[in-house]
Copies of this chain bind each other. A is one copy, B any other.
């Protein structure tokens, strides 16, 4: 025998030789499928293999875990315990590879979420340039809750809100770091024939009862509009180019912001009427967890430069 020379001494009580993975896998499967044959076809190995594995497992545990009759094998009480643990270990295996791969993905990607689309249009180019070779992924979310939860869980490196986030837990040091980003102001885009076309400015409640063409992937705007405009009927559209085509071809009013023109929605023989409610004239803030502030210093510098020049 080669290898460990003390084996000859240790054979009386082998130092609790670690249980092999395949045994746990097969035991867990046996607890599920109840017969060796079904385990065999499930795991794509032969019955005799399972039979021997379970014998060996039982032998290594040193206690009987099966109730055997001539052509039936069932787990006894100890076997059920063992199987429960085996399942736990199996899922721990999966958790391990999951965790490692997730961590790797997080290292390779900069993921952020935004409460509105406009910050994404501006921020993603900045980040892509800053994190060359990395994946920059941006999510649009309707609610702040999701954004904060994913920021805290580490799913997001950064989020964009309409207000800064301060520490509500610790009095001394903030949990979050917030920095102002772009501003966005909502206007209504109406044809000259529209009843509101002459107005210099509007309140949301002035739009009561209007039929308004609207994009439905616009983050918090959507809920604000639905909430603040009484009896409005929104004609939802989720394709941007068709939306602007319909808007041009019809007299239906649409929304428009100071950021909209950057992505090519230009008004044609229409009027732009500012909406003056505070809720729709927002200052966006980029927020990260306080402990990441140093790591993301380059980002916040780039954002500051962008904000100042823009």
Instruction: Spot the interface stretch: A95-103, A114-122, A247-255.
Output: A95-103
Q: Does A93 interact with chain B (Cβ within 8 Å)?
A: yes
Residue ID in chain B nearest A49 by CB atoms: B3
**What is the minimal beta-carbon distance from A10 to any residue of chain B, in angstroms?**
10
The number of chain A residues touching the other chain, given as a range, is: 35 or more
Cβ–Cβ < 8 Å partners of A107 in chain B:
77-78
Q: Mark A76-115, 1 if CB is under 8 A from B, else 0.
A: 0110011001101110111111011101100100000000
The main secondary structure of chain A at its interface with chain B is helix
Does chain B have a CB within 8 A of A20?
A: yes
Is the Cβ of A97 less than 8 Å from the Cβ of B19?
A: yes
**A100 — which chain B residues lie within 8 A by C-beta?**
61, 63, 65, 78, 81-82, 85
Interface string of A8-29 (1 = CB under 8 A from B): 0000000010111110010000
Do residues B93 and A62 form an inter-chain contact, with CB atoms below 8 A?
no
Shortest distance between the CB of A8 and any CB in chain B (Å): 13
A88, chain B: closest CB distance, angstroms? 6
CB distance from A213 to the nearest CB of B (A): 45
Closest CB in chain B relative to A54 CB, distance in Å: 14
> Taking CB as reference atom, which chain B residue is nearest A64?
B104
Question: Judging by beta carbons under 8 Å apart, are A18 and B61 in contact?
Answer: no
Name the residue on B nearest A18 (C-beta): B21
Interface centre among A4, A22, A63 (most CB of B within 10 A): A63
Q: How far is the CA of A177 from the CA of B88 in the complex (A)?
A: 34
* A149–chain B nearest beta-carbon distance, Å: 22
Which of chain B's residues have a CB closer than 8 A to the CB of A77?
Answer: 103, 107
In the assembled complex, A45 has its CB within 8 A of some CB on chain B: yes
* Distance between Cα atoms of A132 and B65 in the complex (Å): 22
CA gap between A64 and B100 in the complex, in Å: 10
Cα(A62)–Cα(B101), bound, Å: 8
Asked if A44 is at the interface (CB within 8 A of a chain B CB), the reply is: yes
One of B82, B86, B101 near A61 (C-beta < 8 A): B101
Given known A-B contacts A45-B3, A61-B97, A78 and B92 have beta carbons under 8 A apart: no
11 A-B residue pairings within 8 Å (CB atoms) = A4-B44, A4-B45, A16-B97, A19-B21, A19-B93, A63-B104, A78-B103, A82-B96, A85-B96, A88-B92, A89-B92
Q: Knowing that A18-B21, A82-B99 are A-B contacts, what are 13 other residue pairs whose CB atoms are under 8 Å apart, sorted by A's residue number?
A: A3-B45, A4-B44, A19-B97, A61-B100, A63-B100, A78-B107, A85-B92, A85-B95, A85-B99, A85-B100, A86-B96, A88-B92, A92-B92
